[in-house]
Amino acid sequence: MFAPRLLDFQKTKYARFMNHRVPAHKRYQPTEYEHAANCATHALWIIPSILGSSNLYFLSDDDWETISAWIYGLGLCGLFVVSTVFHTISWKKRHLRMVEHCLHMFDRMVIYFFIAASYAPWLNLRELGPWASHMRWLVWIMASVGTVYVFFFHERYKLVELLCYIVMGFFPALVILSMGAEAEPRPRTSSLVFPHPELPNQAQKRQPASFTACGSNSCPRVPGDGLRREAAGPCLM
């Protein structure tokens, strides 16, 4: 009973809100209402995404947090800006076929990079194992492969494209779910890292020189083993 009603949808007064389904190798043509909804729902989030990304940037305490805020912010803002421009051109300037086609491809490509950017804070701000750490760059390779796929096979194999989005969305999540409680946040470091000749190699990793104002504790100290860096030179004011 449900199937006939679904088939009769195009005969109802609500048919103007949605066009007929197209074959898998062709592109769906939205109605005027769908065009307006696509533009509005994407443009609505441009300003909030910019404000949220700026807030993340100003709340960053070290270089890794700043980089992650930039990556995520650019991915988020780029997603809504590109989609808004594409849907606007597709609606109001549909006679510009080549421009619309390029923007449609770009709209699909930016989704891959947004997925990669969404994982940047999780992967950059955690101490990962030797195998899981490869996901930091592997996720960007996956985004690049997806971009190449869209460039050569745009709108040809929609099911394959959907599977690419799903795999890229869930595969890095397996690394994050496997972190557990033992995954510690990255230690906050300054932009400059100075090795200490008397510390073992493990203790030298990401050990920033912490300087204090000249006084009773005026010499720079290095965390770990209570060693004082006598060879670090004069204190910084």
Query: Is the residue at 35 inside a domain?
Result: yes
Residue 24 has pLDDT above 90, yes or no: no
**Together in a domain, 35 and 84:** yes
| Rounded mean pLDDT, 134-150 | 93
Number of residues written out for the chain:
237
In 3D, which of 33, 45, 40, 38 has the Cα closest to residue 87?
Answer: 38
Residues 6+ apart with CB under 8 A from 72: 53, 56, 117, 118, 120, 121
Band (57; pLDDT cuts 50, 70, 90)? very high
Tell me whether residue 203 is in a domain: yes
Same structural domain for residues 167 and 194? no
Task: Please check whether residues 59 and 161 belong to one and the same domain.
Answer: yes
Any idea what DSSP says for residue 210? Answer: B
Examine residue 2 and state whether it is found in any structural domain, yes or no.
no
Residue 80 included in any domain: yes
117 and 210 both lie in a single domain: no
Same domain as 217, residue 178: no
Whether 174 is covered by a domain: the verdict is yes
Residues 48 and 152 in one domain: yes
> Residues of the chain with pLDDT > 70: what percent?
67
What average pLDDT does the structure give for the chain?
A: 77
Residue range 30-45: mean pLDDT, rounded: 91
**Enclosing domain of residue 231:** 189-237
With tokens 């307006």, the residue in question is 36
Instruction: Note the helical H segments in the chain.
Output: 2-7, 32-43, 46-58, 63-92, 97-124, 135-153, 158-177, 201-204
* Displacement of CA 201 from its chain's centroid (Å): 33
- Same domain for 138 and 33, yes or no, is yes
**Whether residue 62 has pLDDT greater than 80:** yes
How much is the pLDDT for 201?
46
Domain match, 231 and 154 both? no
- Predicted confidence at residue 195, as pLDDT, reads 43
User: Tens digit of pLDDT for each residue in 215-237?
Assistant: 444 444 444 444 344 444 444 44
Does residue 31 share a domain with residue 75? yes
**Does any domain span residue 14?**
no
195 lies in the same domain as 158: no
Q: What is the pLDDT of residues 155-184, one digit of tens each?
A: 888 889 999 999 999 988 888 777 755 556
pLDDT of residue 174: 84
Buried b (16+ CB within 10 A) or exposed e, 188-214: eeeeeeeebeebeeeebeebbbeeeee
CA distance 160 to 27: 15
Structure token pair of residue 6: 């679904």
Same-domain check for residues 167 and 234 = no
Q: Give the chain's domain count.
A: 2
Q: Tell whether 65 and 142 lie within a shared domain.
A: yes
Question: Residue 8 falls within a domain, yes or no?
Answer: no
Angle of helix 158-177 versus helix 135-153 axis, rounded to 10: 170
For residue 210, is it within any domain?
yes
